């Protein structure tokens, strides 16, 4: 059997752009971001089932998510700030319902397999199952900062041939501002740099796995160039599961 070192895309980003330990305000921001992610995931799921969730139901779910996130991050939030936060979550969910993301599903995780030795798990937030993948941020990330550039580039390597779109639903703007940007495909030089970085970090920090037990789809790469001619990845949402 073949062993490989497996590492998720977010760990590559974290180790390339380390952040200091979060302060209380940072923990609150992290909690709010998690609440928004959970609220949008639940709303998207209901929309895909053809349901029409009420605002009251969405609000109750968001409140539950907020309490859980605050407890998980060991921070407190005054009652007035909680209500203001829930109002912002409500506004973000409304912006999401008006956006191109509404009801889209999340693609199955793909594995960029580099030289048959390092695998990188990569899963963007949404895809249309045909031609585009989307990454969502609840703040304005345009122009793309270096950490998000790296994150998106790893997604582009995992989904070659797909157009990559960064969508920002800026919760800090009043009203919530929606920005959608098509991210250019990486150049050959950028692809090589990203593959080398992922390979080096994977070899150093990745977990050893038996390749035959790792679930694909796989997108094979070599450090000497781009993707192999055949990508063993389904292109339809039905095939991806």
pLDDT in tens, 60-114: 999 999 999 999 988 999 999 999 999 999 999 999 999 999 999 999 999 999 9
Can you tell me the distance from the alpha carbon of 32 to that of 58, in angstroms, rounded to the nearest whole number?
A: 15
Contact of 141 with 170, CB cutoff 8 Å: no
pLDDT band at 227 (very low <50, low <70, confident <90, very high): low
Can you count the helices (H) and strands (E) in the chain? 7, 9
Q: How many CA atoms lie within 13 A of 174 on its CB side?
A: 4
Tell me whether the omega of the peptide bond preceding residue 64 falls within 30 degrees of 0, making it cis.
no
Residue-range domain boundaries for the chain:
3-12+104-240, 19-98
Q: Is 121 helix (H, G, I), strand (E, B) or coil?
A: strand
Over residues 167-182, the pLDDT tens digits come to 999 999 999 999 999 9
pLDDT value for 144? 98
Phi/psi zone of residue 118: left (φ > 0), alpha (ψ -120 to 50 degrees), beta? beta
Q: How far apart are CA 107 and CA 94, in angstroms?
A: 23
pLDDT at residue 236 tops 70: no
- Decide if pLDDT at 51 tops 90: yes
- Can you give the pTM of this predicted structure? 0.89
Give 189-209 pLDDT, tens digit per residue. Answer: 999 999 999 999 999 999 999
| Residue whose token pair is 């895309």 | 9
């Amino acid at each position: 059997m073949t062993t490989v070192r497996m590492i998720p895309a977010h760990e590559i980003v974290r180790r390339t752009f380390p952040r200091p330990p979060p302060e209380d305000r940072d923990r609150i921001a992290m909690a709010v971001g998690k609440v928004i992610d959970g609220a949008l995931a639940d709303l998207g799921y209901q929309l895909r089932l053809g349901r029409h969730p009420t605002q009251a139901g969405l609000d109750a779910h968001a409140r539950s998510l907020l309490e859980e996130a605050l407890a998980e991050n060991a921070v407190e939030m005054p009652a007035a700030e909680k209500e203001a936060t829930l109002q912002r979550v409500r506004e973000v969910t409304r912006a999401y319902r008006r956006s191109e993301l509404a009801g889209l599903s999340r693609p199955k995780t793909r594995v960029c397999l580099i030289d048959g030795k390092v695998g990188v798990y990569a899963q963007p937030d949404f895809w249309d199952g045909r031609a585009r993948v989307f990454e969502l941020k609840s703040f304005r990330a345009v122009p793309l900062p270096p950490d998000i550039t790296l994150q998106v580039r790893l997604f582009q390597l995992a989904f070659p041939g797909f157009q990559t779109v960064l969508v920002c639903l800026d919760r800090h703007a009043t009203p919530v501002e929606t920005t959608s940007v098509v991210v250019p495909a990486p150049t050959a030089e950028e692809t090589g740099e990203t593959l080398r970085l992922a390979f080096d970090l994977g070899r150093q920090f990745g977990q050893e796995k038996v390749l035959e037990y790792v679930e694909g789809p796989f997108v094979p790469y070599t450090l000497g160039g781009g993707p192999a001619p055949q990508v063993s990845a389904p292109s339809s949402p039905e095939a991806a599961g």
